[in-house]
Amino acid sequence: MTPLAAPTSPSPPGRTPRGPWRRTFSVISSPRLAIALLVAVLACSVAGVTVFRGERAWVVIFSTLWFNGLLVLLALSSGLTFLVRVWGRKLTLAWVGMVVFHVSFLGLLGGVVYNSFFSFKAVLRLTEGETLPNGDPASYDTIEAGRFFDFKRLRGETTLVRMHRNYKVEGQDKRSAYEIAVGEGAARTVSTIYVTQNLDLDGVRYLVSKEGYSVGIILRDRWGKELYAAMVPLQSLPEGAGNLLYTSGSIHGPSSFPFPPPPAPADLLLQVTYVPDQGKDRAGKVELATWPVSALEGSPAAVQAADPHGGAASPPPAHTGTVPVGGTFEAGNRRLEVSEVRYWVGIAVRHDPGLTLILTSLWAGLAGMAMTFAGRIWQDTKRGKRGSSGREPDAPAPREIT
Amino acid sequence: MNVEQVLFWCAVGLYGVSASAYVFGFIAENEKLLLGGLAAAALGFAAHLVSIGARWAASTTNPFISISESLALGTFMSMAIFLLVQATSRKVRPLGVFVLPVVFILLGWAGTLRVASDSQLAPALQSPWLWVHIVGASIGFSAVLIAAGLGLMFLLKDGRSGRIYDRLPSTTDLDRLGYRFVAGGFLMYGLMIVSGALWADQAKGSYWNWDPVEVWSLVSWLIYGIYLHLRITMGWRGRRLAWYALVAVFVMIVTYWGIPFSAETFHKGFRVEHEWQPPVDGIR
Ligand code: HEM
């Protein structure tokens, strides 16, 4: 008869990894993993403001799936580790506070993840008087949409009625405010938004973001017949000493562009620079320069180079001149009329369905911290009166004081 | 120089005098010098208070916006809490040995960065959250500064005896008081981050952008979160935590004033567009 194997020492109930679920649970709720994750998130955060900075940090770290995955794991792991450790302790204010705090941490990250799947964040650029459909991705300059965002949420259209500069509310200067009309058909909501006041329609928010000048250009033939007209939005390029250059071009600097723009056939290359009047809004001078379209054919860089501010490499323009707003400029067999100056604005359009959970969690977290703090002080004071050793009642035994 | 500036520099000078009195008084174990340090600190605080008041009265906005103003507020709050602690317990008088040199250096630094206050509050700042934010930040900083001072007291007292050392509270009390200040500071700093998030959400539509100011705040907040775990979860006490509190406050100072203000700050004024904008067809 073979003797029965001596039983191995029994594990405490509920602690043994019994199936894959249990095993996963015990791995996720291990304090070592939680601490390792916390240190990893800290290290990535520090790297994101030292080694990589600004835009690069966003691309390389903060926007990536792995970093956000790390955050989710941290939330899960710290939440579970915490709960496993403190479960069943005596109900005290400090204990409730700690539970509220760590659960809110879970709520916060849950909200962030949920939001990242369903959110929408874009910039809608409109010149005064212009209307664009909200549901058409082509209306936006930049779009960041969550995997499961449904464009059908963005109903109706948006019109920029007017941009107000130095907009005052109860005597306070809000600088720029956008008067917008949003909605479908006749049911339009007209609202003036500024930096601390946004419009929330059906969970879609409209916020001020950026603004600039658009110059109205009318192209005529030599007899004055109108061939084409457009508002040309200008860049605001920093020129040192806090000055801005308002000109056609890109982030890299001023440049010309085909006019009329594609898909219409180009008639000439045009460079527009606006010098605002110091006293009067929407007035001032406009510097114009033109090149024949053939300048494009030499090299693709010709458009960039065809720039009066661009230095030695630029082919000289065929015609240049400065006219006041409202004036007309003769460019060979063409006439260019600077009809007016308007503002264009970039409206940030956002849908963040996780926001309520996120903001509630933030407040709950603060409340939890406050409760723990008050609870600890209270325990301390009680203990002080009783003259005990000064050890927190629900803390492990102190390690050595080295 | 106007009254406000004169008072500002008087405060810096008095804090300098107080810092020296504390440090030399402690080295020489001279109680009278420590008392002199406290008197100079109280006078400096009065000048500091009136200088902030005068700046506020003379400006159309509030004087807590620029880096120099932020430093002046942080040190002001630290001195207020320091003096409150002094008023409630005589035992911790030598706390000034740490607090005053730091306050003196920070306020002196603020003096070199002074600019005229803005005539208008930037629109993004015109929110009640501003108040919650700066109050949370300045009290949070003050609390962890005091905690670091208590940490230094702990390290100085531990294992030593002598006239000055014997008067200090017991190491257990210093340790526990230090923890309270860290926990309170952590809470206030949390308030600063939460109010900042709500405020950014209101102004920019996003509560968190991982921008340098936010990330550095998070890092310094987590550093104190780790302190709390070392104490509560791992049972750390005494020397190691005292060292931790001392090092952490310097990280806090660098992350709070050193780095964020050199990075690009929150949008201001008439904003700049940098992207390529293709022309839009048709005005009629
Ligand atoms: C790595 C993940 C985390 C784990 C494993 C964890 C675990 C714990 C545990 C077990 C406690 C209770 C200590 C005890 O009484 O035994 C606790 C308390 C606490 N935790 Fe965490 N936690 C984590 C993340 C965080 C984070 C990120 C924060 C915020 C910075 C935080 C803030 C707190 C606070 C404020 C307390 C109360 C401390 C006190 O009583 O003063 N925890 N945590």
What's the mean pLDDT in B86-113?
Answer: 91
Residues of B in contact with A130 (CB under 8 A): 280
Which residues line ligand 1 at a C-beta cut-off of 6 Å? A 31, 34-35, 38, 78, 81-82, 85-86, 94, 98, 101-102, 369, 372, 376, 394-395; B 183, 222, 225, 228-229, 232-233
What are the angstrom distances between the C-alpha of B223 and each of A42, B91, B114, B245, B281?
A: 9, 29, 30, 10, 54
- CATH number of the domain at B121-262, please? 1.20.120
Let me know whether A205 and A232 are in one domain. no
Residue B266 pLDDT: 40
Both A222 and A319 in one domain: the answer is yes
Residue B138: partners with Cβ closer than 8 Å, 6 or more residues away: B73, B74, B76, B77
Asked whether A114 and A357 are in contact (CB, 8 A), the reply is yes
Tell which wins on pLDDT, B194 or A75: B194
A221 falls within a domain: yes
Q: Are residues A221 and A239 in the same domain?
A: yes
Instruction: Assess if residue A355 is contained within a domain.
Output: no
A12 within some domain: no
pLDDT at site B66: 80
Residues 6 or more apart from B21 whose CB is under 8 A from it? Answer: B33, B34, B36, B37, B40
Question: Model confidence over A349-360: pLDDT tens digits?
Answer: 999 999 999 999
CA of A323 to the centre of ligand 1 (A): 67
Which pLDDT score, from 0 to 100, does residue B260 have?
54
Residues A34 and A74 in one domain: yes
More confident call, B197 vs A55: B197
pLDDT of residue A42: 87
- Distance from the A252 Cα atom to the nearest Cα atom in chain B, whole angstroms: 8
Query: What pLDDT sits at residue A397?
Result: 41
Give the residue extent of every domain in chain B: 121-262
C-beta of residue A45 within 8 angstroms of C-beta of residue B255:
no
Residue A401: inside a domain: no
Is residue B90 scored above 50 in pLDDT? yes
Rounded to the nearest angstrom, the minimum Cα separation between A17 and chain B is: 24
Report the pLDDT value the prediction gives residue A385, as an integer from 0 to 100: 65
> What's the pLDDT at B277?
42
* Residue A262: domain span: 212-343
Average pLDDT of each block of 10 consecutive residues along chain A (402 residues)? 39 55 80 85 86 79 84 85 83 90 87 87 92 91 86 91 88 86 88 90 90 92 91 84 81 83 87 91 93 69 46 72 93 92 92 93 94 88 60 41 34
Which of these, A219, A202, A196, lies nearest to A339 by C-alpha position? A219
Structural contact between residues B87 and B125, judged by C-beta atoms closer than 8 angstroms: no
Query: Given an 8 Å threshold on Cβ–Cβ distance, is B280 in contact with A49?
Result: no
The answer on pLDDT for B265 being more than 60 is no
- Residue whose Cα lies nearest atom 3 of ligand 1: it is A78
Return the residue of B nearest to A43 by Cα: B219
The pLDDT, as a whole number, for residue A284 is: 94
Distances (CA, A) of A54 to A48, A60, A62, A148, B264: 8, 10, 10, 27, 9
Note the pTM of the prediction, 2 decimals. 0.80
Of A312, A343, A374, at which residue does a domain stop?
Answer: A343
Report the alpha-carbon distance of residue B125 to residue B120 in Å, rounded.
10
Q: Which of A42, A244, A249 sits opposite B272 (nearest CB)?
A: A244
Q: Are A286 and A273 in contact (CB under 8 A)?
A: yes
Least trusted range by pLDDT, from A137-146, A232-241, B69-78, B169-178: A232-241
In Å, how far are A80, A219, A283, B2 from A339, measured between CA atoms? 66, 10, 11, 52
Determine the pLDDT at residue A91: 86
**Of A102, A109, A378, best ligand 1 pocket probe by most atoms within 8 Å of the beta carbon:** A102
pLDDT of residue A18: 64
Asked whether residue A377 is domain-assigned, the answer is yes
In this structure, what token pair is assigned to residue B102?
């730091």
- Let me know if residue A400 belongs to a domain: no
Predicted confidence at residue A314, as pLDDT, reads 63
Same domain, A128 and A98: no
Res B167: pLDDT? 84
Query: Å from A24 to nearest chain B CA?
Result: 23
Question: For residue A244, is it within any domain?
Answer: yes
Residue A65 lies in a domain: yes
- Distance, CA A193 to ligand 1 centroid (Å)? 41
Q: What is the pLDDT of residues B27-62, one digit of tens each?
A: 998 889 999 999 999 999 999 999 999 999 888 778
Give how many domains chain A has, as a whole number. Answer: 3
Q: Alpha helix (H) ranges present in A8-91?
A: 20-28, 31-47, 54-57, 65-86
The pLDDT value given to residue B259? 65
